């Protein structure tokens, strides 16, 4: 009888240990899933042509990889702050639309400024240069990355939507560990995607000076096009706000 009780006690302890290992492994699987979700979303979201990745490409081609990596680092830092704000706003505040309406006019002005500078540079500068070197107020690629990323209003609704999707599917939970792994994945994904453009800019244009005028015209058109798109969104939101 005593031997049977002892065996039963050992079996019960073994079950508890197995349950603990299972719960621990399940928790690690969930964290890995959150990490990979953030990585894939940010990596794939940063691949389509836009102001950030093409500017990283341009800086890499004109100034080299290191200034472009400083630009990418600033972009990643701002994006992580923005994602943390969307997580905080998703839990406690509803400030998404208000912040987008605030960032839209600032983003339009910055893109118009970069566009005009690019067009002027294409007609007056013959040597190799980039957006960071022709703007007297924005000589640092790190500062340029901070501004372009911070004044990009499209990333707020983008991350608000993905946070809601992952939350509804039970992938992203409101815990410190989940948020930490989510942000780590996002940072690595964006960094990797920008690294693709930086590497392309470094090795595709071996003689950037020959293409300087053409690339500045293309960058100017891109900045101008995105500024018109943000202006359209701004007018649309203002009209909707007035109707309401």
What pLDDT, in 10s, does the model give residues 140-195? 899 999 998 988 878 888 888 888 888 888 888 888 899 999 999 999 999 999 99
Give the pTM: 0.73
Q: Where are the domains of the chain?
A: 2-243
Residue pair 46/52 in contact (Cβ under 8 Å)? The answer is yes
Which pair of tokens denotes residue 187? 């940072």
Give the pLDDT confidence of 107-117 residue by residue, as tens digits.
888 888 888 87
Residue pair 59/130 in contact (Cβ under 8 Å)? The answer is yes
Residue pair 84/183 in contact (Cβ under 8 Å)? The answer is yes
Question: Does the pLDDT of residue 26 top 70, yes or no?
Answer: no
Q: How far is CA 69 from CA 63, 148, 197, in A?
A: 11, 15, 11
């Amino acid at each position: 009888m005593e031997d049977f009780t002892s065996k039963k006690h050992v079996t019960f302890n073994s079950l508890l240990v197995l349950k603990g290992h299972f719960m621990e492994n399940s928790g690690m699987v969930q964290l890995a899933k959150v990490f990979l979700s953030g990585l894939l979303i940010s990596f794939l979201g940063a691949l389509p042509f836009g102001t950030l990745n093409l500017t990283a490409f341009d800086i890499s081609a004109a100034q080299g990889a290191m200034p472009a990596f400083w630009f990418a680092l600033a972009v990643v830092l701002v994006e992580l702050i923005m994602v943390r704000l969307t997580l905080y706003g998703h839990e406690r505040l509803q400030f998404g639309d208000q912040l987008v309406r605030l960032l839209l006019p600032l983003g339009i002005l910055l893109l118009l400024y970069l566009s005009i500078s690019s067009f002027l540079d294409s007609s007056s500068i013959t040597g190799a240069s980039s957006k960071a070197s022709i703007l007297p107020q924005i000589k640092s690629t790190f500062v340029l990355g901070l501004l372009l990323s911070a004044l990009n209003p499209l990333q707020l609704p983008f991350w608000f939507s993905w946070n809601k999707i992952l939350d509804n599917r039970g992938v992203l939970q409101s815990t410190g560990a989940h948020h930490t792994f989510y942000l780590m994945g996002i940072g690595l994904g964006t960094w990797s995607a920008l690294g693709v453009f930086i590497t392309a800019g470094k090795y595709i244009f071996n003689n950037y000076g020959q293409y300087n005028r053409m690339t500045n015209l293309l960058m100017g058109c891109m900045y101008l096009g995105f500024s018109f798109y943000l202006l359209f969104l701004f007018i649309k939101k203002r009209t909707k706000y007035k109707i309401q």
